[in-house]
Amino acid sequence: MNATFALAGATFGEAIRKRILLVILLAALVILLISPAFEPFAGRGQRTLVISFGFGIIQLAGTFIAIIMCTGLIPTEIERRTIYTILSKPVQRYQFVLGKLLGAIATLGFVYLTMGLMFLLITRWTLGEFDPKIVQGLIMFFFQSSLLAAVTLFFSTFVSPLVNYFLSGGVFLMGNLMSTFLDTIQRNPEVTPLTRIPVQILTVLLPNFANFNIQNPIINPEQVLTDEVAYLVQTIAYAVIYMVLLLVASILIFNQREM
Amino acid sequence: MKKRSTGLLIAVVALLVVQAGLQMRVFPLWQKNYAPKTATPVGLSPEQLLVAVAGFREFMAGILWVRADGFFDSGNYDAVLPMLRLVTWLDPHNLDVYATGAWHMGYNFTDEAQRSDRRYLLPALKFLEEGIQNNPNVWDLYFEMGWMYYHKIQDPVNAVPWMYKANEFENIIPARRHMLAHALFKSSQFDQAVNTWGRLLLDAEKERTKDWESLNLYDVRQKNLEDTILDILRRYGPNAETQPPIDMGFDAKVTVVRPRVILVEGTLNIPTIGARVTVILRNKGQKLDYTPKALETFTLEVDPNLTYMQDSLAVRDMKFRREIDMSKDPKMYSFKAPEYEVEFIFDPRYASPNIQDRIGSDGVGMTDRRYLDTSDPSARMLRKVVTITREEILMLRRGAE
């Protein structure tokens, strides 16, 4: 297990030194800082602007960082041939993949902590209040990005980084929209089972990223939610189980790989 | 190696099943709490969709709403409607968009003479219903729905349930509570109207000394309660001023003066000013069903083959007369049906108080030898229907009175 944590630490150290990731993080922080200035462009009060825009920036930055960071995690090691050095030591392949994923999640944790603190400061400063629900939203986005990191890492075990960008981005988009499509289809009595059933299957199989988008009731606090805690717990459990699933699948593929 | 791979494969399948089970548990809660409900992302371009799913939904909705407002200011109403759809999909809890959008549809689509296109009232009601489904825990849209019935459709009976619902909320603006009592009175539920004013007065009394606003609210409610009781006593009490009923001598006729232009005129024996007669021209037998349930889902489309014109005619010197030109708005008045009915209605519920003092707000003090209509339990009305053909209104052949 020490080897896994050592790998995770090395991955984290390497990730936070990457210029591209730092640039994205810095840009997100600057945009968060100046976000109250965008008020004239939005139609609804400052609360909507600051919270919606802030969550948007954080989610976007988290998504880009997760994809950019994880596409290169395994292929770069192979390209640089450092993987041979690592695997020649008493390190199992599963430990290598697990270490990479834990390192990526730790990096995302650091990124979300930095952006989250800035976001909370901005909301406290502009709205004059500290809304604990914002932390809920940030936690959910962290799990969303972590799941996306697991998806990207899974693809990185068998496709090139360039293909992985599009593949992970596509899965993220689909995973965000499938629930809405299924919901629309279920409400439309004219849709035949021939259309509905494949969409249902796809919604259940694909990682559902829309589950983590809980910002709307935070922006509109007058909305009363049903079983909110149960929802949050189940959604986090869903993220963890799906990440384990992807990790096992990644290990399975990585074990088969000739090096 | 092979054994381990099989084990991992089994684990993958097992985890896939577990996550599927969890997703199926999460989905109903997601639908309840977070789904955009009945709105669909139809009409979003790919980049808009990307921004929307990237988490800027409400921000983008705000920008689109500002843009829609710009279209409205410049009179480009057609451009406003699709934006309403997008904005409510992006931000289903934006009450302003539902309220203002329904108002646009209900009031601002007009012909050259500023007559509303009543075909848009149904989408307006459906839009509000969708807003209520998405925001069941706020009073605003229940009130807006009630107001649409009370003011625009002039149907106080159907306004009452919505006003009751809006009144259930603690945080409703105090003055808005009054509309329930007004709607009850107009729908001839006098006892409930008095009870409502009484209850409102008692509520206001508790905080009467708090500030000037509270004192003012108390005074307003007290005056309304007194006026309501006085009106009921004068109109329906002993020696009621509404008795004996007066013969309204109601009559009306339609003359086609030019293609798609009609002259409507008639008589109503009310000597004072303040009475109005409603005139409706519509495809024969196609009364508009003003209930949200009349539409399956919200749509921006209206029936292009339905001609529906409604106007309100002022009565002066016991006569009313107006030339109604429908030739400049072929989109609103397509005249595709073979026959049309022109309906004239005098509804005492929306007459001015001085007229209601004589005939009652429910029409108890009026009668008419030919056109008295007692089918509506909430009020006696005067109603005359004239049928004209397409040939007559388009002057495709002579003789069109």
Query: What are the pLDDT digits (tens) for B25-64?
Result: 888 888 777 765 544 555 555 555 666 665 677 777 777 8
Mean pLDDT score across all residues of chain A:
87
- Which residues is B345 bridged to in the sheet? B278, B383
What is the Cα–Cα distance from B302 to B120, expressed in whole angstroms?
7
Q: CB of A61 within 8 Å of any CB in chain B?
A: no
Evaluate if residue B93 carries a pLDDT over 70.
Answer: yes
Least confident of A205-209, B138-142, B249-253: A205-209
Helix (H, G, I), strand (E, B) or coil at B76: coil
pLDDT, one tens digit per residue, over A33-66 is 988 887 766 666 677 778 888 898 999 999 999 9
Q: State the count of interchain CB pairs (< 8 A) between A and B.
A: 166
B314 DSSP assignment:
E
Task: Flag whether B132 is in a domain.
Answer: no
Percentage of chain A surpassing pLDDT 90?
44
Q: Which of residues 124-153 of A touch B (CB under 8 A)?
A: 141
**Once rounded to an integer, what is the mean pLDDT over residues B168-177?**
94
pLDDT in tens, A161-175: 999 999 999 999 888
In chain B, pLDDT over 70 holds for what percent of residues?
A: 93
Residue B360 lies in a domain: yes
Mean pLDDT for all residues in chain B: 88
Contact B41 A220 (CB under 8 A): no
Which residues on adjacent β-strands are paired with residue B346?
B382
B138/A217 Cβ within 8 A: no
pLDDT (mean) for A173-190: 79
pLDDT at residue B50 in the model:
60
Q: Which one is predicted more confidently, A75 or B37?
A: A75
> Do B253 and B219 share a structural domain?
no
Domain membership of residue A244 as a residue range:
2-256
- Are B214 and B278 in a shared domain? no
Would you say residue A70 has pLDDT above 90? yes
ipTM over 0.95: no
Stretch 182-211 of chain A: residues touching chain B, C-beta under 8 Å:
182-184, 187, 203-205, 208, 210-211
Interface test with B, best of A98, A185, A215, A241 (most B CBs within 10 A): A241
Q: What tens digit of pLDDT does each residue of B346-384 get?
A: 999 999 988 999 999 999 999 999 999 999 998 999 999
Q: Which of B78, B104, B127 is the last residue of a domain?
A: B127
How large a percentage of chain B has pLDDT more than 90? 55
Phi, psi dihedral angles at A37 (to 5 degrees): -70, -15
Q: Is-cis flag, bond preceding B244, omega within 30?
A: yes
- Judged against a pLDDT cut of 90, whether residue A84 lies above it is answered with no
In a domain, B83, yes or no: yes
Same domain, B90 and B146: no
Which of B47, B53, B172 is the best mutation test for A, with the most CBs of A within 10 A? B53
Last residue of a domain, one of B127, B153, B173: B127
CA distance, residue A17 to nearest chain B CA (Å): 26
Distance (Å) from the alpha carbon of A80 to chain B's nearest alpha carbon? 27
Query: Beta strand B261-267 with B319-325: parallel, antiparallel or unpaired?
Result: antiparallel
Residues B312 and B375 in one domain: yes
Inside any domain, residue B103: yes
B78 vs B98, more confident: B98
State the pLDDT at residue B399. Answer: 47
Q: Per the structure, how many domains does chain A have?
A: 1
Do B191 and B299 lie in a common domain?
Answer: no
Do B110 and B67 share a domain, yes or no?
yes
In this complex, is the C-beta atom of A157 within 8 Å of any C-beta atom belonging to chain B? Answer: no
Any idea what the CATH number is for the domain that residue B340 is in?
A: 2.60.40.10
* CATH code of the domain covering residue B190: 1.25.40
Q: Which of A198-212, B53-67, B315-329, B331-345 has the lowest mean pLDDT?
A: B53-67
SS3 track for chain A = CHHHHHHHHHHHHHHHHCHHHHHHHHHHHHHHHHHHHHHHHCCCCHHHHHHHHHHHHHHHHHHHHHHHHHHCHHHHHHHCCHHHHHHHCCCCHHHHHHHHHHHHHHHHHHHHHHHHHHHHHHHHHHHCCCCHHHHHHHHHHHHHHHHHHHHHHHHHCCCCHHHHHHHHHHHHHHHHHHHHHHHHHHHCCCCCHHHHHHHHHHHHHCCCHHHHCCHHHHHCCCCCCCCHHHHHHHHHHHHHHHHHHHHHHHHHHHHHCCC
Q: Is residue B358 located within the same domain as residue B269?
A: yes
Which two structure tokens, joined as six digits, stand for B16? 């896939």
Contact B58 A249 (CB under 8 A): no
Same domain, B95 and B177: no
Range of the domain at B177: 137-240
**pLDDT, average across residues B299-304:** 81
Chain B residues closer than 8 Å to A62 by CB: none
What domain count does chain B have?
3
Cα gap B128→B146, rounded to integer Å: 10
Q: Which residues contact B23 (CB under 8 A, 6 or more apart)?
A: A203, A204, A208, A211, A238
* B251/B284 same-domain check: yes
> What's the confidence (pLDDT) of residue A221?
72
- Of A89-98, B143-152, B291-300, the one with minimum mean pLDDT is B291-300
B234 and B270 within one domain: no
The SS3 assignment for B373 reads: strand
Q: Where would I find the beta strands (DSSP E) of B162-212?
A: none
The residue among B187, B216, B240 that closes a domain is: B240
pLDDT of A218 higher than 60: yes
Q: Over 70: is that where the pLDDT of A74 sits? A: yes
**pLDDT at residue B400, rounded to an integer:** 44
Contact state of B15 with A248 under an 8 Å Cβ cutoff: yes
